Amino acid sequence: MNSLQNTQRRQFLKLGTLAATAAWLPSAARAQDAKTAAGTAYTLAPLPYALDALEPHIDAKTMEIHHGKHHAAYINNLNTALATAPALAKRTLPELMSGLPPVEDEALRNTLRNNGGGHWNHDFFWNTLTPADSSGKPSDDLAAAITAAFGSMDTFKTAFGEAATKRFGSGWAWLIRQGDKLKITSTPNQDNPLMKGLVHDPDLGTPLLGLDVWEHAYYLNYQNRRPDYITAWWNIVNWDTVSKRFAGK
Ligand code: MN3
């Protein structure tokens, strides 16, 4: 990709012609920059905090393996797959995920679904977290929307926790925005609310908050106690970031 195309791509991302998807643009733009900066491949961005910064809620060893091994593996697998599909490699990650069904090669489609989703979801997840002493609180606008949709912050957390607890096996719980409405949903494996037209279509919308409930996210510290991990996780949610996503920034 030449520099003009890069500039055009960035301008497109900045313009955010799809207002409803603006919330993922900062993260997606970073992922795209990481890719073009490296020439042909996505790269693993450093965590925006130290490995032990989320303790005691998420321990350093879990973060080291989760980021350095699991997330890195999704990126490696994604790059390997895209090396065989030059036309698909030109897409941004959100474009790739929302355009999966027309990919005829089933093995390639599944690899892109699992590993493209794996890369995007984890990039989103790391940037949703912050040390407990800087967790903050939702903006007034987001707090009002949560109250309008779920009754109160406490009932929202209970409902979100239930979605995360009941997700059978591996997957994610999400707070998404559909137009002006907030909704809680969950997806299996590495699917996410940006993936349109799958056989098992997820609830589509703009992700504001996502929680990884794969065992690799919590098993070292919490073993089978997924609800304890979910309860602890609320202490390290970066509400400033979530509020900016809600505001479309
Ligand atoms: Mn994970």
User: By CB neighbour count within 10 A (0-12 exposed, 13-18 middle, 19+ buried), where does 109 fall?
Assistant: middle
Beta-carbon neighbours within 5 Å of ion ligand 1 = 212, 214, 217
Question: Do 231 and 161 contact (CB within 8 A), yes or no?
Answer: yes
Cα(193) to ligand 1 centroid in Å equals 16
Q: Which whole number is the average pLDDT over 31-35?
A: 53
Q: Which whole number is the average pLDDT over 28-35?
A: 51
Residue spans of beta strands (DSSP E) within 104-248: 171-178, 181-188, 206-212
pTM: 0.86
Nearest to 160 by CA among 120, 119, 122, 128: 128
Residue 195 to residue 145: CA distance in whole angstroms: 25
Cα(118) to ligand 1 centroid in Å equals 7
Q: For the segment 183-204, what is each residue's pLDDT rounded down to a tens digit?
A: 999 999 999 999 998 888 889 9
Q: For the segment 74-131, what is each residue's pLDDT rounded down to a tens digit?
A: 999 999 999 999 999 999 999 999 999 999 999 999 999 999 999 999 999 999 999 9
